[in-house]
Structure 1
């Protein structure tokens, strides 16, 4: 991977609500609109609503669209692709699962994996051990779970405190101020200084190769598409400095903070109206 991986370090100010932004001005400069998945396009592990799917399908006919999320490709398939209608221009849709450690695009009537940056067997084993040990030490290892708490995604190890299939209400209540998963990430980071350890979704911590996060993803996508990162809008619910959407803002995208998929619907609807007038 060499020198193409960069680590963003600058702090950026992000509007607390998308309604404070000049969407018309953003759309006049944008060539790509990128989205987080869980709690941005859809509730955690749930399929997009029909309304969101309709808007996203329309958006692919107006501008290039990307989805960058910590989830596996299978989540993209079940939560997003299965909901899109036949009007979707799949050639304008780019998928970057596991925080950009993998990249898929539509080729020859199928989704093709262009690259995958998998962790070594030793790194995956050490990441699982560290997450398990520190989760117990911090009293974050829950007895009642819905599915596995640790998932080996090849290019990413993900800890989900309540399991991958936990109901949304339980996830929302587990760590409302993000302090619990931030504490776990900080402890694991000391064990694995050569890896990227970041607080992920509502109950998760993600571990991947150093320097591969959503900043890397948007830079890589920009290079592939011949688009400057400053010409990308990035929409996400975790735009706080410890959140996994924040690196995309640090990389120089036009950041849009949303609190939930309902706000994303409002933003995309507004964006589409401005694009229709351009």
Structure 2
């Protein structure tokens, strides 16, 4: 075997050790691995590297693929963990398998479409409902910052962001402060759900809070539990921060909590502690 071929073979063996594990640990992104809409916290790199030696890692987010690439750029571009990393945007209704070597990209192997599932008529009416609610917020007396891209179609879901997806960190902080003071999103969640019931669409779609500033709307059953089907016969764990009522982590948290394999985090520091606990639990189970 030539030197070049041997080095390629050794590299392949190094990557291979990350591929197939009995355990899969799924993480929410915003508020769990990253501050909301910010970059991956590098303090988690070593814990995730240790975790990748005993489990497959997945990121299941309400965000789309581009947002995950943007926020997790360091982990994806500069760490060997990438060979053991599954990306599951839009609650796992899109599934990207890990690259197989350092010059390949993630491989999209599964994707679903909201318009195909609901039909054009229902989708258009849903967008109409969201636009009307956005107009009510815009014309209210609340001093809410407004930017652009209030409604974003992601394929498997629609994201409605009252301040706009293009809002910067200062606008986001201002909105979050207003939201906590007035319960704005709670009130508009009620309005949205009432509108869906009025039109009979509550039988077809589910609404949840998306992060700190938005709402996710998707076909029933397309919450984060959707991601579980991609890992049959595996032992799955979950870590997320939005595990309360209407939070987009609640459904998968509740399902796996029955087996004591889900964790709610409130900070990056706590996520780091949870990772260490999961590693110890996996090692104890495999003894």
Identify whether the pair has TM-score above 0.5, normalized to the shorter chain.
yes
Aligned to 1:92: 84
Whether the 8 Å contact between 1:99 and 1:212 is mirrored in structure 2 is yes
1:207 aligns with 2:217: yes
Paired residues of 1:70 and 1:98 also in contact (CA < 8 A): yes
| In structure 2, C-alpha distance between the alignment counterparts of 1:48 and 1:147, rounded to whole Å | 25
Give the superposition deviation at 1:140.
9.5
Count of residue pairs brought into register by the alignment? 243
Question: How far apart are residue 212 of structure 1 and its match?
Answer: 0.7
Structure 1 window deviating more from structure 2 (124-133 vs 264-273): it is 264-273
Q: Which moved more, 1:76-85 or 1:243-252?
A: 76-85
Q: Where does 1:185-264 land on structure 2 (aligned, <5 Å)?
A: 185-189=189-193, 190-191=195-196, 192-193=201-202, 194-218=204-228, 220-223=229-232, 226-227=233-234, 231-253=235-257, 254-264=261-271
**Structure 1 stretch displaced more, 65-74 or 118-127:** 118-127
- 1:177 & 1:265 partners in 2: Cα distance? 30
Unaligned runs of 5+ in 2: 1-21
Deviation at 1:166, TM superposition (A): 3.2
Q: Could you tell me which residue of structure 2 aligns to residue 152 of structure 1?
A: 153
**RMSD after superposition:** 2.8
Give the whole-Å Cα distance in 1 for the aligned partners of 2:46 and 2:121.
43
Q: What CA distance in whole angstroms lies between the structure 2 residues aligned with 1:171 and 1:268?
A: 31
Residue number among 173, 177, 190 corresponding to 1:173 in the alignment: 177
- When normalised by structure 2's length, the TM-score is 0.74
Match of 2:6 in 1: none
Judging changes above 3 Å, is the alpha-carbon distance between structure 1 residues 50 and 146 closer, same or farther for their aligned structure 2 residues? farther
Contact 2:35 2:41 in 1 (8 A): no
1:73 corresponds in structure 2 to 65
Please list the CA deviations of residues 156-183 of structure 1 after superposition, one character each: whole Å capped at 9, or x if unmatched.
Answer: 1101222223315335424238943233
TM, length-normalised to structure 1 = 0.76
SS at 1:251's partner residue? Answer: helix
Contact 1:140 1:161 survives alignment (8 Å): no
- Report the CA distance between 1:196 and its aligned residue: 1.9
- Per-residue deviation at 1:201? 1.1
Alignment deviations for residues 178-220 of structure 1 (CA, whole Å, 9 cap, x no partner): 94323323332342321122222111110112211012222x1
Query: How has the CA–CA distance of structure 1 residues 172 and 39 changed in structure 2, closer, same or farther, with 3 Å as cutoff?
Result: farther
Partner residue in 2 for 1:118: 113
Offset, 1:255: 1.9
Instruction: State the 1:264 CA deviation.
Output: 1.4
Unaligned stretches of 5+ in structure 1? Answer: 1-29
Which deviations, in whole Å up to 9, do the C-alpha atoms of 1:14-60 show, x marking residues without a partner? xxxxxxxxxxxxxxxx8121111111111111111221234324422
Q: Look at both structures and tell me which one has the larger radius of gyration over its CA atoms.
A: 2
Q: Deviation at 1:248?
A: 0.3
CA separation of 1:239 and 1:178: change in aligned 2, threshold 3 A:
farther
In 2, Cα distance between equivalents of 1:46 and 1:122:
36
CA contact (8 A) 1:53 1:80 kept: no
Q: Kindly indicate which of the two structures has a greater share of residues assigned to helix.
A: 2
Kept in 2: contact 1:34–1:234 (CA 8 A): yes
Q: Contact 1:76–1:97 at 8 Å: present in 2 too?
A: yes
Contact map agreement 2:93 2:156 (CA 8 A) in 1: yes
The correspondence for 2:32, drawn from 23, 27, 40, is 40
